[in-house]
Amino acid sequence: MEPLAAKIIYFVGYWLANFVIRAPYIKSHQRVPIRSKLKDRVDHALFLAVGVGGFLIPLLYVFTPLLSFADYSLPLWVGVTATVLLLAGDWLFWRAHKDLGTNWSPTLEIRDQHRLVTQGIYAHIRHPMYSSIWLLVLAQAMILPNYLAGFTGLIPFALLYFLRVGKEEQMMLAEFGAEYEQYLQRTGRLLPKF
């Protein structure tokens, strides 16, 4: 795939997810009061690193020659597959935000009137938003033909996911008890349970 086409496709996909799909939920996140939160500096730092690695480093790669030493070329089919992953990631990101609504938080928090969401995409998958981010960071790695700009989303997100997901489920279990336990039985973490 032409590097210019790959860059444009990546930034459109990223812009859709973070500046169109997520934007209204950031506003409601600031409005709805929070009852309790898990203070975790490593989690907060990794969350920030995913943003820097998913957006700022790719910007540097596109608009400056600083990262050109790490360029390589990718076959067309890899770019096309990445485009499909990016589209699927954007769709799932949208679906998860819509279903989670005001219960969404960028970190691990419980709101005043937190409700356990078990419908929509959440009827099948417990962490569809994380599934969608896996798709987006994998697409980044596959579509940006640069060893640095390609992988700076995937690496911090992999760390964030593996360090966070168990804690999140413990937090939900402590909050919702038997209801969450039953929910755990019938759903998969990232993929539907068959």
Smallest distance from the beta carbon of 177 to ligand SAH, in angstroms?
Answer: 14
Among 14, 55, 104, 151, contact with ligand SAH (rule: CB under 6 A): 104
Tell me how far apart the alpha carbons of residues 110 and 98 are, in angstroms, rounded to a whole number: 18
Give start and end residues of each alpha helix (H) in the chain. Answer: 3-15, 23-31, 41-51, 57-63, 76-100, 128-143, 147-151, 154-176, 178-186
108 close to 164: Cβ distance less than 8 angstroms: yes
Nearer CB in complex with ligand SAH: 71/109? 109
Distances from the Cα of 116 to the Cα of 18, 81, 174, angstroms: 24, 34, 12
Among 9, 17, 43, 127, contact with ligand SAH (rule: CB under 6 A): 127
Among 3, 44, 47, 109, contact with ligand SAH (rule: CB under 6 A): 109
Q: Which stretch binds ligand SAH (CB under 6 A): 2-10, 28-36, 62-70, 128-136?
A: 128-136
Q: Which stretch binds ligand SAH (CB under 6 A): 10-18, 42-50, 68-76, 97-105?
A: 97-105
Smallest distance from the beta carbon of 168 to ligand SAH, in angstroms?
Answer: 6
